[in-house]
Amino acid sequence: PNIDVTLKCDSIKMEVVFGNVILNSIQAIGDNPGTIYIRYAEKPGSVIIEVVDSGPGIDIENLDKIFDPLFTTKQKGTGLGLSSCKSIIEQHGGQISAKNTPTTITIVVPNLVEKK
């Protein structure tokens, strides 16, 4: 981006969020050629961050469950990754959601940093 955005947040916890979301995108794409886009937009009082991947998408019957604790579709998954992300984002006063076509994780967090 041409302009950076600064958030007032716990950077270690937010690193966990982005690490989990991006890892899920990588795993969804698998060995296939693919892309992951990370984009953001500033709105009055908030920042919207989207992680979009070219993977096969989330099964429609699972879309409403992916942020539930212990829900996983992976053989070696614990089901704690995205539920932890949801908890961290909510601790920051934000929201996280998912949609398909393409697979997009949307994070909305308050922008508490004053512009100079």
Strand partners, 115: none
Structure tokens at 21: 């979301």
Stretch 73-99: mean pLDDT, rounded? 88
Nearest 10 degrees: Cα torsion 82, 88, 89, 95: 60
Average pLDDT, rounded, for the chain: 89
Stretch 37-41: mean pLDDT, rounded? 93
Structure confidence at residue 15 as a pLDDT band (50, 70, 90): very high
Bond preceding residue 44 cis, omega within 30 of 0: no
Residue 116 predicted with pLDDT over 60:
no
Its sign, for the CA torsion 9, 10, 13, 18, is positive
Stretch 51-70: mean pLDDT, rounded? 90
Stretch 33-60: mean pLDDT, rounded? 93
Residues near 32 by Cβ (< 8 Å), separated by ≥ 6? Answer: none
